[in-house]
């Protein structure tokens, strides 16, 4: 199979002025509103009950652009592109190997790009969800969530270790989609996700909100509020979240960033701080089980605290 050239294609090149123009326009709109208020945590039932009433505010969250934050996001994009170009040859060889052993030929069917986009979006849901549920993979994705602002530049804050998740998309060549088709499906999916990283669009009409990932629903995904954590993983379609129990509507204003923010604009720290934290936790952990749990357990996992009366309460130490 002929390899795709290792270069940016016309859609990638055309996206550069699009990004610049839309970010400048968004910045001009958001400049009029410096902050928004974030309401106290509440569940959906509470939000419905309180609808239309005066709600207490607990914090101010910055809106719009900030020079250092935007520069950090754009630096992450540059690094992401550089690492992508450096590894594309390896990924092409892997894709070619799997394609030669394909079990179907869906890529030859009429309208193959449509089927490829739906399948890529489905696989992206699981790729995205795995990155939130397994700490080793979260260490790659956390950089995208590290900004405490939410604007179009946040969409460009991309990780540098995406190669670790390449295996999730191997069903594409296995089912007969050629590398060029798979690439185009992923490219269009990620370009779609660019415009939903904004505060300037409220909600779309209900029929679209029911099926598509929208600015409102993706704001939820970037929320550090307890009720919004690990929700709305979809790329273009939100139906996967509704099918697999990870859907959450936007019922209150959102505080962006991490549950424990890293407070840095250094691209290297943004890209690798969680890997360093994993290393520290593994060194400090006692026993192989806990070491592995720090790597492959959920983000935020900590060993259970030993009870001071543990020996007395254990089955072997129970009094008769």
In a domain, 219, yes or no: yes
Report yes or no on 126 lying in a domain.
yes
Q: What is the pLDDT of residues 195-251, one digit of tens each?
A: 999 999 999 999 999 999 999 999 999 999 999 999 999 999 999 999 999 999 998
- The answer to whether position 125 is within a domain reads yes
What residue numbers bound the domain in which 138 lies? 10-273
For residue 249, tell me if it sits in a domain.
yes
Domain count along the chain: 1
Cα distances from 97 to residues 1, 109, 159, 179, in angstroms, run: 10, 21, 26, 11
Within a domain: 4: no
Q: Is 301 within the bounds of a domain?
A: no
**Does residue 201 lie in a domain region?**
yes
Residue 311 within any structural domain of the chain: no
96 CB neighbour count, 10 Å cutoff = 15
- Cβ contact 199:30 at 8 Å: yes
Confidence label for 57 from pLDDT (cuts 50, 70 and 90):
very low
Q: What is the C-alpha to C-alpha distance for residues 92 and 169, in angstroms, rounded to an integer?
A: 12
Helix (H) or strand (E) holding 218: helix 215-221
CB contact at 8 A, 274 and 142? yes
The span from the first CA to the last CA of the chain, in angstroms, equals 73
* pTM for this model (two decimals): 0.86
Cα–Cα distance between 222 and 229 in angstroms, integer? 8
Query: Which tens digits make up the pLDDT trace of 142-194?
Result: 999 999 999 999 999 999 998 999 999 999 999 999 999 999 999 999 999 99
């Amino acid at each position: 199979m002929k390899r795709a050239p290792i270069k940016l294609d016309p859609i990638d090149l055309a996206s550069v002025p699009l990004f610049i123009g839309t970010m400048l326009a968004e910045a001009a709109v958001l400049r009029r509103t410096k902050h928004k208020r974030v309401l106290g945590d509440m569940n959906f039932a509470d939000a419905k009950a309180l609808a239309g009433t005066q709600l207490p505010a607990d914090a101010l969250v910055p809106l719009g652009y900030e020079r250092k934050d935007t520069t950090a996001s754009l630096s992450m994009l540059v690094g992401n592109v550089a690492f992508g170009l450096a590894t594309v040859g390896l990924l092409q060889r892997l894709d070619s190997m799997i394609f030669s052993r394909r079990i179907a030929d869906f890529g030859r069917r009429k309208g193959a790009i449509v089927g490829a986009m739906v399948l890529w979006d489905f696989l992206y849901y699981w790729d995205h969800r795995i990155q939130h549920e397994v700490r080793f993979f979260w260490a790659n994705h956390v950089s995208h969530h590290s900004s405490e602002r939410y604007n179009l530049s946040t969409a460009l804050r991309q990780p540098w270790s995406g190669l670790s998740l390449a295996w999730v998309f191997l069903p594409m060549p296995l089912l007969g989609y050629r590398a060029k088709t798979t690439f185009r499906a992923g490219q269009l999916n990620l370009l779609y996700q660019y415009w939903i990283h904004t505060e300037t669009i409220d909600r779309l009409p209900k029929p679209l909100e029911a099926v598509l990932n929208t600015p409102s629903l993706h704001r939820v995904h970037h929320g550090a509020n307890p009720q919004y954590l690990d929700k709305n993983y979809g790329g273009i379609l939100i139906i996967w979240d509704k099918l697999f129990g990870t859907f959450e509507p936007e019922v209150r204003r959102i505080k962006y960033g991490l549950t424990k923010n890293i407070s840095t604009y250094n691209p290297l720290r943004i890209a690798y701080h969680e890997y360093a934290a994993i290393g520290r936790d593994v060194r400090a952990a006692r026993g192989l089980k806990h070491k592995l749990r720090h790597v492959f357990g959920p983000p935020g996992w900590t060993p259970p605290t030993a009870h001071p009366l543990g020996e007395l309460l254990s089955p072997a130490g129970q009094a008769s």
